[in-house]
Structure 1
């Protein structure tokens, strides 16, 4: 009977240890996932600043890098790499001293960095570290070096726990504890982060005195009730303490992740403003030049027309800025009721002259049954203008370039279809064209389509893309936003 009781207690201790191992593995997986997400957020924020800083060393990049390294010590190095004609120039940022400039070997491995926005994680040449590379602009790479000791630092995890972190088969970190263990159990986990595919193994050793404590040598039948009560109280107190520690850790991690999100949002807002204001500013420049020529030829009618157009585009630029601020702050859209055909006509008026000058045919078809819609007018026209501008870039230089805009009502929704007879979208890119900072243009930022999707979401709408003899984008507005 005593041996059976000891066996039951040993089994209970072992199962409890497996439960604790599983709980610790989940905690480490959660911590690792959040920190990897922070790395992605830093890459996005830094990438936006790098694109706006063509000349290096840059004080803007240095300031942001110092802030990131001070707040996140596991990020030990932030470097921009510029590939020239047979040269590779690296600038290291983030330390208190000035940025360091170095020349790397020209045979830099660019595997996995084929398009703007691609990322690749690789083991570093230094021990206990790995590096993340991101192609942020043509021939410009951003690199973050991560200290794996700090990445999985969970404080005192106990002498029985061991962990191994690896990347592409290379061991980045290995802690070995519990060398006198009688039994060993382990949990293996793969992170869900596609840019940093780390493999984590958490192990726990069971010492003989854990499976069969010395006091069990005493007559177990006489002390069984007291031992059971003590074990239950101990485990309850231990779980409560661990639960409180995990909550405190999670609160701290959430605060750090929120800070990283704000840094990312600042970079996204700056890039978005630069992207969306390019057209009205270019229009005002062209109209100002026309006004100047009107003065020299004494044509006040042309001058008045150009000034009126400048006023209209200046107001539009102000409205775009207001929408961008509302977009980043999460403010609700400014919805108003307006005939959809009128909104479409006003949006296309801004691009007709440019399309005609470039020899591009624009065909607009609008059904009389469309009616009015409840939309954010400026945001809606911003989306439509962006789609037509992208289509114009796609058909430029082709024979008989043509863009069609079709507005129709289909069942319970209104469709606005923008199509062109260009080369279409690469099938491999169709699933990513609405991802922030993903672009197929050599000089693009990758913000126009993601911003368009977000603006339509605020109007309870959506957008989709496909190939149909060229690129075809369809805006859906459900009847719930229509009168």
Structure 2
């Protein structure tokens, strides 16, 4: 009786161990599958977001293109055909499916497929939501079948403003066949559904425009697609590998139990079995050590790559700042040519006068030579500031005189100020006041702000630029204000957004770079809220040295 109970007890324990091995192995495999699915879903969302961002940029850039605006403004066939050629070239460079330009009636006046039998030119798309929404809101997107190609795609649209009014809409259509094909090459299933639960993109193209299927017996990971309201990417992995891992683990546990039974049954082989287990443990330890070393090498390489990428990003940012400064330097140099030529002409005149009078009027010659010295010092001061401004920033923070930086910036922009009749007023610039900064980069910020103020004052009566310095306990507040028309609310809303500009020939990078420079110094560049009848005012703080 006792032996029978022992057998039953060992049998129950054996079954329990098998079940436990199955459950633990399946749970571990499911956890690994979940991590794999999360990583794959995140990667695919990033790829989709990157493609969408590229096509949005195409539509946004074209909406501010001068050639596009001229075609809408003039309505000439020559201008429209020139835009079509440009759209065709841009489409091939950006992997768009088709790009076209609609007028205010929704009729296509230019298209990248202008020379194809299925050209959109002359077709009306006023019924499309991407046209009506863009006309009303500025931008829009719509996923739909093409009226000509009958192929599904995402339409991104952007309104084109001419002389302050909406004159047309740029539309970029993108298709996702290549992206879906790459999804289909994997073992998983990937679907993108809209807010209504309709499948728009899928690794199984037959599912398009059908309701999202019920996902059973799969491990599902869902991620929202940034920039497209309501879009959700769902990645599904089969749970069969997890069950197979559980079965294998149970089989392994059964083998272990059989081995233990054999060890108990075959007591005489205990020593050899113990040596076998020791050898297996040594192999396992060696394999584990190799796996740890391999993973360590992979992590080390990944960290090195990340540091390299960060270094490249820092160099690119520095090069962008330097490029902006050199562009500003080109504008400044044209004005400073007058500042240098005028003293040179005066020096030559005084020298010729001195040669003529050296025998008869030595006192007047002495006065002329003194003026020549003053003019030479003026030229030296201008060239010193110009050379210092052109120097590439080193990133070294030192104690910088606020007054010297302001004086240098005013000198660099002085010719343009006089050309516009603008008066520059400097308040509170104590010669002893110093801040923690880099002189070259601080001057770059000031020159950008002064030039913006000069452009805003063009054609204004009694133009004035006021530079104010206020010393506080640990900081110094510097403001640059003008009495121009002020910032429009739509410009103020995206003031520090790259490529957002109200200037016809502007790039929209000056204020962005100035903001990054001040941010690197631990503070922020801000603009006062627009107020009717008041000009623009920009402010930033710097730490006192």
Shorter-normalised TM range: 0.5 to 0.7
State the distance in 2 between where 1:270 and 1:136 align.
Answer: 32
Change (3 A) 1:249 1:113: farther
1:123 to 112, 120, 143: 143
- Name which of structure 1's ranges 416-425 and 306-315 shifts more when overlaid on structure 2: 306-315
> 2:518 matched to which residue of 1?
456
State the distance in 2 between where 1:142 and 1:299 align.
Answer: 66
State the distance in 1 between where 2:301 and 2:391 align.
Answer: 38
> 2:217 matched to which residue of 1?
183
State the distance in 1 between where 2:22 and 2:219 align.
Answer: 15
1:473 to 538, 542, 545: 538
Offset of residue 417 of structure 1: 1.1
2:404 is the counterpart of 1:377 = no
Change (3 A) 1:386 1:207: closer
2:186 is the counterpart of 1:174 = no
State the distance in 1 between where 2:315 and 2:123 align.
Answer: 32
State the distance in 2 between where 1:188 and 1:310 align.
Answer: 67
1:204 to 237, 250, 254: 237
> 1:96 matched to which residue of 2?
none
**2:180–2:201 Cα contact (<8 Å) kept:** no
**2:468–2:480 Cα contact (<8 Å) kept:** yes
> 2:96 matched to which residue of 1?
77
State the distance in 1 between where 2:315 and 2:53 align.
Answer: 8
**1:363–1:405 Cα contact (<8 Å) kept:** yes
State the distance in 1 between where 2:97 and 2:376 align.
Answer: 47
> 2:40 matched to which residue of 1?
28
State the distance in 1 between where 2:385 and 2:22 align.
Answer: 75
2:405 is the counterpart of 1:343 = yes
Offset of residue 473 of structure 1: 1.6
State the distance in 2 between where 1:266 and 1:59 align.
Answer: 36
Change (3 A) 1:405 1:172: same
State the distance in 1 between where 2:26 and 2:332 align.
Answer: 70
2:443 is the counterpart of 1:363 = no
State the distance in 2 between where 1:403 and 1:376 align.
Answer: 24
1:19 to 12, 18, 31: 31
State the distance in 2 between where 1:312 and 1:49 align.
Answer: 42
Q: Higher relative CO (CA 8 A, sep ≥ 6), structure 1 or 2? A: 1
How many residue pairs are counted as aligned between the two chains?
Answer: 442
State the distance in 1 between where 2:108 and 2:204 align.
Answer: 43
2:324 is the counterpart of 1:272 = yes
Offset of residue 380 of structure 1: 1.9
Structure 1, residues 391-415: CA drift from partner, whole Å, max 9, x if none? 3444556676543211121111111
Offset of residue 174 of structure 1: 1.8
Change (3 A) 1:181 1:384: closer
Structure 1, residues 411-439: CA drift from partner, whole Å, max 9, x if none? 11111112344554466765642232123
- Name which of structure 1's ranges 305-314 and 344-353 shifts more when overlaid on structure 2: 305-314
**1:403–1:421 Cα contact (<8 Å) kept:** yes
1:242-257 to structure 2, matched below 5 A, reads none
Structure 1, residues 55-100: CA drift from partner, whole Å, max 9, x if none? 968999999987xx6xxxxx633766556787542347xxxxxxx9
1:376-415 to structure 2, matched below 5 A, reads 376-394=438-456, 402-415=464-477
Offset of residue 375 of structure 1: 3.8
Offset of residue 280 of structure 1: 1.9
State the distance in 2 between where 1:432 and 1:286 align.
Answer: 36
Offset of residue 322 of structure 1: 5.0
Structure 1, residues 161-219: CA drift from partner, whole Å, max 9, x if none? 32212456563322369x9997334221113x437975211123335993697789989
State the distance in 1 between where 2:247 and 2:433 align.
Answer: 84
Give the SS at the match of 1:103.
Answer: coil
- Greater strand percent: which structure? 1
RMSD of Structure 2 on Structure 1 (CA)? 6.3
State the distance in 1 between where 2:525 and 2:318 align.
Answer: 25
Offset of residue 478 of structure 1: 1.0
Change (3 A) 1:274 1:53: farther
State the distance in 1 between where 2:318 and 2:98 align.
Answer: 20
> 2:174 matched to which residue of 1?
145
Change (3 A) 1:362 1:89: same
2:192 to 165, 173, 179: 165
Give the SS at the match of 1:15.
Answer: helix
Give the SS at the match of 2:481.
Answer: strand
State the distance in 1 between where 2:342 and 2:252 align.
Answer: 104
1:439 to 501, 514, 523: 501
Give the SS at the match of 2:182.
Answer: coil
2:121 is the counterpart of 1:103 = yes
Change (3 A) 1:375 1:411: same
Structure 1, residues 252-294: CA drift from partner, whole Å, max 9, x if none? x989999x97999799679836852452254267779989x99
Structure 1, residues 320-356: CA drift from partner, whole Å, max 9, x if none? 6654xx6xxxxx3365655321221231234455445
State the distance in 1 between where 2:203 and 2:306 align.
Answer: 27
TM-score (norm 1): 0.63
**1:88–1:106 Cα contact (<8 Å) kept:** no
State the distance in 1 between where 2:120 and 2:319 align.
Answer: 26
State the distance in 2 between where 1:59 and 1:311 align.
Answer: 51
State the distance in 2 between where 1:196 and 1:250 align.
Answer: 34
Larger Rg: 2
2:227 is the counterpart of 1:194 = yes
State the distance in 1 between where 2:527 and 2:458 align.
Answer: 20
- Name which of structure 1's ranges 196-205 and 268-277 shifts more when overlaid on structure 2: 268-277
Change (3 A) 1:137 1:313: farther
Change (3 A) 1:310 1:78: farther
TM-score (norm 2): 0.57
